[in-house]
Amino acid sequence: MLVFWKEKLVFLSVPKTGTTAYEKALSPLASMTVLDPPELKHAPLYRYNRFFRPMFEKACKTQMETMAVMREPVSWLGSWYRYRQRPFMEGKPNSTHEVSFDDFVSAYCQEKPPGFANVGSQAKFLEPRPNGTSIDHLFRYEDQSGLIAFLENRLSIKLDLPRENVSPKMDLLLSTDVETELRQARSEEFELWNSISA
């Protein structure tokens, strides 16, 4: 999570959406950088609403706008799958070394996914709160030019992004049956991604 106090902007860090590169590039400009623990670095909107928003509004007497990035759901799962294929993950409970991509996605569709497929939900991360707190600026991961243009304009900078925390490259193909299962079981993920202005 990055907080830009003068610009009244908070950049929430949805896992596996390229935010590590943005953190590296923008941390020197941020008033507050939350990198650890992961529960706060990747604080979803409900946690921001509960802990950070009251601090800004009550203690600091200011309203902040929020921004976040969402990745196309199949691509997002592919990134998680590849991330858990890294060599040092082999033999660990969350490893996907002995699991096909189809099996990983099918497991993710379960009501209680096993550890290797328990990667959360982008839709839940970004879900508006009953008090009206919501993401003010939501970008598709696939629209990097739009995201960069917004940040350059809002922060009055020229952005040069490093490549960080990149998952191993591999070709992943999801079978038609499993993709149908995913779209039915996690329809809210696709609905939200499709609702973002391209």
Confidence of residue 169 (pLDDT cuts 50, 70, 90): confident
Please provide residue 191's backbone torsions phi and psi, each rounded to the nearest 5 degrees.
-60, -45
Flag whether pLDDT at 193 surpasses 70.
yes
CB 113 within 8 A of CB 54: no
Structure tokens given for 31: 């008033």
pLDDT at residue 160 in the model? 83
pLDDT score of 165 more than 70? no
Q: For residue 198, what pLDDT is reported? A: 62
Cα 35 to Cα 46: distance, rounded to the nearest angstrom: 18
CA 182 – CA 106 distance, rounded (Å): 7
User: Which strand (E) or helix (H) includes residue 70?
Assistant: strand 65-70
Which range (46-50, 54-58, 106-110, 189-193) has the least confidence?
A: 54-58
Residue 75's CB: how many other CB atoms inside 10 A?
14
> How confident is the prediction for the chain on average, in pLDDT?
92
pLDDT band of residue 141 (cuts 50, 70, 90) is very high
**Structure tokens belonging to residue 97:** 């070394």
Pairwise CA distance, residues 168 & 178, whole Å: 23
